[in-house]
Amino acid sequence: MNPDHITLHDKEFKPYLSARELTAAIAEVAGRINQDYAGRQLLFVVVLNGSFMFAADLLKHISLPCEVCFIRVASYQGTSSTGEIQEVLGLTEELQGRHVVLVEDIVDTGHTMRMLLDTLGAQQPASLEVATLFLKPECLLHELPLRYVGLPIPNDFIVGYGLDFDGLGRNYPDVYQAV
């Protein structure tokens, strides 16, 4: 499935990144995590909904003992961030003294990530790092410790590979850019 364009709601999208490019970036991130955390057990905290595909593929490359749990937050409406974070589904795992990797699909303004790092950091994990598939450096409004970044991208609206436009487009294996 690699159409030359897709239409979601009233918006057109063109191909941007292939599944092959995504796989290579994810393998690179996983390799760095495996190396950095050799001999330790990890807890991956996956931010839903957008990160589910990235997390699944990332974890296929992790060779360390690990656990996975999920948290759901919302900060988008349509194609732009609302700037307001609403925690929808809370974390149930104990983080104190554990090595935690927060898995996010995309960091743009950094509002959501700042809130999550503050919230999770308050539980005193042994370490707390971020693995994000995409980073929009020109949008970033917060200084964040983003140790594992798959692909820096420009400030374009993208869908596919877990990212959506008002609920549609998550199912595409490639990433598409708004026209």
Instruction: Convert the pLDDT of each residue in 37-91 to its tens digit.
Output: 999 999 999 999 899 999 999 999 999 999 999 998 865 555 555 556 665 478 8
- State the average pLDDT over residues 140-168: 96
Could you tell me what percent of the chain has a pLDDT over 90? 83
Predicted confidence at residue 82, as pLDDT, reads: 56
Domain boundaries along the sequence of the chain = 41-178
Q: Quick check: helix, strand or coil at residue 56?
A: helix
* Cα–Cα distance measured from residue 38 to residue 9, given in angstroms and rounded to the nearest whole number: 45
Cα end-to-end span (Å), the chain: 19
Would you say residue 19 has pLDDT above 70? yes
DSSP annotation string for 66-117: EEEEEEEEEEEETTEEEEEEEEEE---S--TT-EEEEEEEEESS-HHHHHHH
Could you tell me what percent of the chain has a pLDDT over 70? 91
* Cα–Cα distance measured from residue 49 to residue 96, given in angstroms and rounded to the nearest whole number: 25
CATH architecture of 41-178: 3-Layer(aba) Sandwich (3.40)
Mean pLDDT computed over every residue of the chain: 92
* Cα–Cα distance measured from residue 33 to residue 155, given in angstroms and rounded to the nearest whole number: 26
Q: Is 78 buried (19+), middle (13-18) or exposed (0-12) by CB count in 10 A?
A: exposed
With beta carbons less than 8 A apart as the criterion, state whether 165 and 48 touch. no
Predicted confidence at residue 84, as pLDDT, reads: 64
Predicted confidence at residue 4, as pLDDT, reads: 87
Predicted confidence at residue 86, as pLDDT, reads: 60
108 is catalytic: yes
The residue type found at 20 is R
Predicted confidence at residue 3, as pLDDT, reads: 76
Strand partners, 66: 42
- Among residues 57, 108, 118, 174, the one annotated as catalytic is 108
